[in-house]
Structure formats: structure tokens, C-alpha cells
Structure 1
Amino acid sequence: MSINHHMIVIKSHRFITCLLGLLMLCPLFALSETITANENQFNQVELSNSAIKKLGLEVREIRSVKALSSKLFPAQIGYAPQALTNYITPFNGYVDLNAHLHLGDKVKAGQLLLKIKPVVTPETRLSLLTNLSDTEGQLKSSQEQVEANRLVFNRARQLFMQHVGSQKSVDDAQANLAIAETNLNTVKQKHALLKQAVAEGASGVYEIKAARDGVIASVNFTSGQLLAGGSKLLDIVSTNQLLITVFVPQEQIKNLQLNDAWISDDTVSDKEIHLKKVMLPLDADPQTGMRKVMYISSDIEELAVMQKLSVNIFERAPRLMALGIPCSSIVVDMYGGEWIYLKEDETHFRRERVFVSDKTSNACVVKKPHLTGRFVVSQGAQELFALETGYTH
């Protein structure tokens, strides 16, 4: 075999070896081609029309909205000032509490609370006559207050029906009318007791009934105890309104719109609870130096006395245009990342990462201008997330 022939054989072996190597690398090249994909192909969910209907998916167009920035402040819940009704004995006597009632029990308006057997001396009789005269003046004043508040309420309701007034004005007028009527009922009951005591003296037994629904918050006597006129008997707290005390640093008071406040604490409720400011002078907490701002809420099913939470208050900043989406559109993954589902077509939805920079009273603000005009899943986003990833809260 010649040298040239050996060289040809060697070159042939090298050629075959290289060819085999290239063939072995071909699957790798093919694999690298299958990995390359458009990012938009990921994070997508495809559903049938029947599945969309069963999940109750709703979409909403993303638009720019006028928004104000807000700040969170710590708060605590207590009873509203007008919720407390004090019961005081109008004359000297032995007091017996209704045997079926105890501290913390709920009572209905008109329910018997206690009975008083008076001890009437000449001095007591003179005091009763004086108190009766004063109570008659209070009764007349209370009746006038009820009538005045009823006129305001009727006027506010009429303006609202004519699409001139606001629902807030109607609610405020109705609350003031309810307070005035409760005060009138309390004065009426006191007047009737004094009138009966003056007429019957020590021969009668006088009943004291609840002026409105509530809970017995305190009892300041024991059954059968002799009490002097003017002694505190018990307190009834109405639970239809709660007081929310918000603690705000003094230097920030002037920068806030104190009338615009709401609770959006996820640990309290899955909905926003709007608060009504109480017209009381600002008070300060001596321990922290923070100012106390008072609000009331009628949403008692979501709140509880002594509960601590966070309250949003709008700042006095100029209104800005921001991209707002429903807060119900936001889903959060196990790492704290925030996502939304955009509608691609009738059956396709794509998950996109967002960052919520702020919350208004009706939307979550995100900084993604290119989403303007797109449609986002506003109801059922969490169901889509669970369907796609298997992760739920």
C-alpha cells in the first residue's frame, strides 16, 4: 500500500468522524431551536366559553383615572359617642334589676330594665316637683329638635330624589333624626316617672325601660340597693355605629383631606369600608403626641370594638391622571409578586406582571401606560391564577 493510499484512508476516517460528530450535534441544534420562543407564549390560559361562564369571569377596560395619593395611619375601634345612653334614678329608692338581664346582654327598645320603689320624704317631694318642671322644659326642647331634624331629613331625601342632593346628606340627616328621637324617648320616660312619683308618692313601683336597642355595658348597683336621686344606674351601648380613632402626626394634619377616609385593610375585610368624620375637636394622645381624628362606621359586621387596623386618608395633593385598574384584578403569587390577566381574545387570557404604586378609593394605580385601552379580568382573576398555577391563597 502506497503512502498516498494511507493518507487517503486517514483522511476518509477523519471525514467520517467529523460527519458522525455533526450528526450527533444535530439534535442539540434542533433542541436549541425549540427552546427559543416568544415571551408572550407563556403565562397564558385558554378556556372554553362554557368554562368562562362557569367561572363568572368579567373584564373591564383599563383607563386613566383621576387619583389622589393617600396615606395609611394606625387606628382603633370603640363605641361612637352618641351610642351610649346613661340611665339615672330620678329619686331616692330601692332599685331591682330585671332578673333575666346581665352585663353584656342585648336589650330591645321598650324592654324592662329595672324597677324602683321610691323613698319619698318632704325634701324628696320638693325635689321631684323641681325635677318635673325641668323635665317638662327638656321634653318640649326635645320635641322641637325632633321636628327640626325631621324637616331636614325630608328635605334632603326630596333633593336626592330630584337628583340634586347626595346620598351622604340623606344618611347624615337620618342619623341625626334617629339620635334626636332616642333623646326624646329618654326624656319622655323620665317625665312619666317623675309625674307618677309626684302623684303616687311612696305607694308605687316604677319601671324603667330601654329607650333603644343595645348592649348592657355597665351596671352600677346591686338589686335591692337603696340609691339616692341622681345616682347612675346602668349604661346601654347601641351597636349600630362604631367609633374609629385614627392617630395622625401633628405635622401631617394640614396636608390631609380628613373627610375622605376609608378602611381597606385586608385583615379586616375584603371590601372598602368608607368612614364618616365626627365633628369633634381634634384631640392629642399624650403618650405619642399624635392627633386623634374620629370617624364612625355603621358596617358593624366587619368591625369589632378594641380592634386595631389601618385607615387610608387622602392627601391634599392636586389630582393626577393615573392608570387605574380594579383592585379585584390583582393576584399575588407566593413570593409577593403582583399580576393581572389581560384578555387576548374571546378565549385566551395572558398573565402580566404589574406593580401597584398606590390605591385610591376605587382603583389600584399601576405604572404601565401601554395597557391603556386593554381589557383586564376584573372578576375571577384568582380563579384563573389557581387554574394556571395551582396556587391559591
Structure 2
Amino acid sequence: MKHSHRILIFATFAISVGLLPGCQKADKSKSESVKPAKVEKLPVETDLATITLTEDANRRLGITTAAVAEREVIRRRTLGGQAIVPIGKTIVVSSPLAGIVTRSGDQAIPPPGTRVAVGTPLLSIKPLLSAERDVMTPAEQVQLVGARANLMAAQTVAAGDVDRGNAEVEGAQIAFDRASKLFADRAGARRAVDDAEAQLNIAKSNLAAAKERDKQLKELLKMLDVQSPDGEVTPLPMTTPIGGLVNRVDISEGQTVASGTVLFEVVNLDTIWIRVPVFVDMLAEIQQDEPAKLVSLSGDTLPHDVMANPIAAPPTADAMSSSADLYYEVDNSKLALRPGQRIGVELPTSKKASSLVVPNAAILFDIYGGGWVYAMTGERQYTRNRVSVQFVDGDEAMLAAGPEVGTKVVVDGAAELFGTEFGAGK
């Protein structure tokens, strides 16, 4: 019994020793077959970017297309400009004599920023006379009365000349109309029409001269009214010679000022200049005689196209920034730009180059900034193609690379195709 038990133990050991190399070989082959990484070959990009729509889906998306064109384009460079007040549009008004600042009537002195019209009295100056000049001497009073009488007589004659000029113009106009009608009816000569027209022009010239003479005499009479009946000095109104905005007020009501003291400043911003600093090495590329387009500082277009015309201005430059200035003039009635405000300016370059042109609405951008368009490759079949955008001009995009000329690209519905391809909205 013991002998048979020993034989069984030995047999079992022998079998275990014999199977051990075989297990080690199987485990070794299994470990060698497992790889640390697995690389799967992805499909071609164009296989993923082709969309075929049903007739109903194509109609619901409202797909519209436009053909890729190629033409000569002028590239524009967007630089930053600064609005400045044009030369001659800033008026500084000073006091012509020593006096006290008072209101003009019941109107208070307007604060800076107030819009005023040309000829508006902003304030008045009550003259200060020296002690010996407070009361005129009898001789001076006689001279003043005589001068006023002479001016009044001359002004009466001038008023009569104005009335006579009006009558002469009316008579000459009637004669001209009669001669023109006779000539139109072939009952009069051309010479009569010319003579009547000449007489009419002479009468109009005489009337204009009479009105101007009457106006000057009235102004002289006002200048002689230096004193009111009660003996007080009449305030001198200070009017603005131009319309615009009150930019600065350097005095206050009741202040005593000397002759030549600055009272206020008015600026006219109906038109404004745009100063554009340009790097000196770029000046040769800019078409300095062509209009520039104003855009926002980000490069986006303004609500309406605004073109700025180049103007002749003093040559200025900045050595620290190695830039020279270009000046443009623009209508500021709608822009309402303020002096010192920054704005983008698209300057046309002198280099023309051939470029592919597509509508800007056809361009799509992925999350990595890559540009794409959907090209129509078949009936209701659209393939996404990569494009390289050089620059955008209005509603058009200029491409450095893209589909061939004549290829139809999707304009309306491109974003919907993009969402359909990548499952947006599901």
C-alpha cells in the first residue's frame, strides 16, 4: 500500500515537471502578441466632408450658390487714425476793450459743449471808461450829434436808393419777360432780348450796392450809440464768427477783463480731419491720392460706408515711431467724431494682384481657425473645401487658395450644412 502511494506521488511530480515548460511557452507567446498601442487609419477628409441632401431638405435650407471668380484686386491695409480739428475751424474770441463781462440779454453764458449758430451773441462786455472820459465835453457832444445827423441823412438817401433799385429791377424784369415772349413768338429780335437782359443785370447790381450801402450806414449809426439816454455805457455784444461747438470758456459773469483777454473758443466739426501715422517704409505702397475707407478699430465696417478724401496738409512725422502722417477729410455730420478720437482707416495699396474672390458669407471657420467653403459637386451634393483667406473687402473675401474658378460655392445655408455635417443641434 505504501509502495503504491509512493508510485502515485512520483507520477504526479513527473507530470507536473513535464507540463511546466509548455505553460511558460504559451504565456510567452501570449504576451508577445499584445501591442502597447493601436493606430487606426482614419478615412480620407473628403469622404467625411461630402453631404448629399434630399430634394426636400435642399429646399428647406434655402441653399443659394455663387461662382468663384478671379480678378485683379487692390489690397487695403487697416491702420489707426486720429480725428483732429481742421486748420481754420477753431476761432478764439478776445475782448476788444477793457470791461466787465455781462450776459447777452437774459441768456446765460453758454457752457462748453453748447452748439451755437454763426453770429450768436454769447456774452457782452460793458466798457470801462477812465475817470476823465466818463462824461463827454460839450464840444464832443456837438461833434457826436453832427456825425449822427450826417449819417442819418446818408442812411435816408441810401434807403431811397434801395426803393428806387427795387422799382428798376421790377421794370427791367417786365421788359425782359416781354422781349423773351416776343422772341419766342418770332415777333421780336434776339438783340432786344439781350439788351433787356443787360438792363436787368445792371438794375440788380445797383440794387445790391444800394442795400450794402444802407447796411453799412446802419451799422455806423449803431456804433455811435455808445451811451444810452440815462448816461450808462451800452454793453458790447460778443458774437461767434462761425457756427459750431463752444469748446472753451475762459471767463465768468461779472469778471473784469483787460483788452485782449481770451473770452471763449468755438470749433466747427461739420468736417473733420483724420491723421493717419504710417510707417515710413510703407509710404511707397500706399496710394496717397486715392480715398480711404473708415472702419472700426477692430476692422469691422461701419453702419454705412464712409469715404475720406486725401487733402493737402502740413507735412508732419514722428522720429520716435519712424512714421509719417497722411491726412484725410471726412464729413462728420453723421459720424460725430470728437477731436482726439481713434478710428480705423483702410488705405489702398499700389500693388495689384490676381486673387480668387468669393462672397464673405460663404466662408466658415472651424474651432482651429481654418477656413472652409462648401462647393457644389453634384446635384444636391456639397463638399467642404479648405480655403486660405487673404483679406476681406466689404462683402467679398479674397482667397490665396481655394476651389477652382467657376466652382459654385454655397452662400446661404453654408452654416446649416456645417451643422448638419457635425451633428449640431442633435
TM (normalized to structure 1)? 0.56
Q: Structure 2: how far apart are the matches of 1:196 and 1:220?
A: 31
Q: Structure 1: how far apart are the matches of 2:241 and 2:423?
A: 55
Question: Are the counterparts in 2 of residues 43 and 351 from structure 1 also a CA contact under 8 Å?
Answer: no
Q: Structure 2: how far apart are the matches of 1:296 and 1:387?
A: 48
Which residue in the other structure is 2:166 paired with?
none
Where 1:204 maps in the other structure, the secondary structure is: coil
Structure 1 regions of 5+ residues with no counterpart?
A: 1-31, 124-190
Q: State the 1:291 CA deviation.
A: 1.1
Question: Are the counterparts in 2 of residues 120 and 201 from structure 1 also a CA contact under 8 Å?
Answer: no
2:370 is aligned with what amino acid? Answer: G
The range that moved more, 104-113 or 33-42, is 33-42
Q: State the 1:366 CA deviation.
A: 0.3
Q: State the 1:99 CA deviation.
A: 2.1
Which residue in the other structure is 1:292 paired with?
325
Deviations, residues 281-324 of structure 1 (Å, cap 9, x unaligned): 3201243242121223335538554333443323333x332222
Q: State the 1:84 CA deviation.
A: 2.7
Q: State the 1:343 CA deviation.
A: 5.9
Equivalence map 1:214-363=2 (5 Å): 214-260=244-290, 261-265=292-296, 267=298, 269-271=300-302, 273-298=306-331, 300-301=334-335, 303-317=337-351, 319-342=352-375, 352-359=385-392, 363=396
Which residue in the other structure is 1:199 paired with?
224
Where 2:108 maps in the other structure, the secondary structure is: coil
- Over 3 Å counting, the alpha-carbon distance change for 1:229 and 1:278 in structure 2 is farther
Q: Structure 1: how far apart are the matches of 2:45 and 2:394?
A: 43
- Is 1:101 matched with 2:110? yes
- Over 3 Å counting, the alpha-carbon distance change for 1:289 and 1:224 in structure 2 is farther
Q: Structure 2: how far apart are the matches of 1:228 and 1:279?
A: 38
- Over 3 Å counting, the alpha-carbon distance change for 1:36 and 1:325 in structure 2 is closer
1:75 is aligned with what amino acid? Answer: G
Q: Structure 2: how far apart are the matches of 1:254 and 1:37?
A: 44
- Over 3 Å counting, the alpha-carbon distance change for 1:201 and 1:37 in structure 2 is closer
> What RMSD, in angstroms, separates the aligned Cα atoms of the two structures?
4.5
Question: Are the counterparts in 1 of residues 116 and 243 from structure 2 also a CA contact under 8 Å?
Answer: yes
Q: Structure 2: how far apart are the matches of 1:116 and 1:390?
A: 78
Which residue in the other structure is 2:86 paired with?
80
| Greater gyration radius | 2
- Over 3 Å counting, the alpha-carbon distance change for 1:72 and 1:350 in structure 2 is same
Which residue in the other structure is 1:67 paired with?
73
Where 1:251 maps in the other structure, the secondary structure is: helix
Question: Are the counterparts in 1 of residues 274 and 327 from structure 2 also a CA contact under 8 Å?
Answer: yes
- Over 3 Å counting, the alpha-carbon distance change for 1:36 and 1:326 in structure 2 is closer
The range that moved more, 42-51 or 97-106, is 42-51
Question: Are the counterparts in 2 of residues 90 and 194 from structure 1 also a CA contact under 8 Å?
Answer: no
Question: Are the counterparts in 1 of residues 299 and 344 from structure 2 also a CA contact under 8 Å?
Answer: no
Which residue in the other structure is 2:126 paired with?
117
Q: State the 1:268 CA deviation.
A: 6.3
Question: Are the counterparts in 1 of residues 49 and 384 from structure 2 also a CA contact under 8 Å?
Answer: no
- Over 3 Å counting, the alpha-carbon distance change for 1:265 and 1:117 in structure 2 is same
Q: State the 1:345 CA deviation.
A: 8.1
Give aligned-pair identity as a percent. Answer: 20
Deviations, residues 7-44 of structure 1 (Å, cap 9, x unaligned): xxxxxxxxxxxxxxxxxxxxxxxxx9999973442598
Q: Structure 2: how far apart are the matches of 1:375 and 1:302?
A: 42
Question: Are the counterparts in 2 of residues 193 and 206 from structure 1 also a CA contact under 8 Å?
Answer: no
Which residue in the other structure is 1:158 paired with?
none
Q: Structure 2: how far apart are the matches of 1:234 and 1:380?
A: 59
Where 1:259 maps in the other structure, the secondary structure is: coil
- Over 3 Å counting, the alpha-carbon distance change for 1:342 and 1:104 in structure 2 is farther
Q: Structure 2: how far apart are the matches of 1:352 and 1:252?
A: 34
Structure 2 regions of 5+ residues with no counterpart?
A: 1-40, 134-215, 228-232
Q: Structure 1: how far apart are the matches of 2:249 and 2:270?
A: 21
Question: How many residue pairs were aligned?
Answer: 288
Q: Structure 2: how far apart are the matches of 1:378 and 1:245?
A: 38
Q: Structure 1: how far apart are the matches of 2:416 and 2:86?
A: 39
Q: State the 1:278 CA deviation.
A: 2.4
- Over 3 Å counting, the alpha-carbon distance change for 1:234 and 1:67 in structure 2 is same
Q: Structure 2: how far apart are the matches of 1:207 and 1:194?
A: 14
- Over 3 Å counting, the alpha-carbon distance change for 1:85 and 1:69 in structure 2 is same
TM (normalized to structure 2)? 0.53
- Over 3 Å counting, the alpha-carbon distance change for 1:327 and 1:274 in structure 2 is farther
Q: Structure 1: how far apart are the matches of 2:45 and 2:318?
A: 62
Q: Structure 2: how far apart are the matches of 1:390 and 1:105?
A: 58
Q: Structure 2: how far apart are the matches of 1:115 and 1:95?
A: 6
Where 2:226 maps in the other structure, the secondary structure is: helix
Q: Structure 2: how far apart are the matches of 1:381 and 1:36?
A: 18
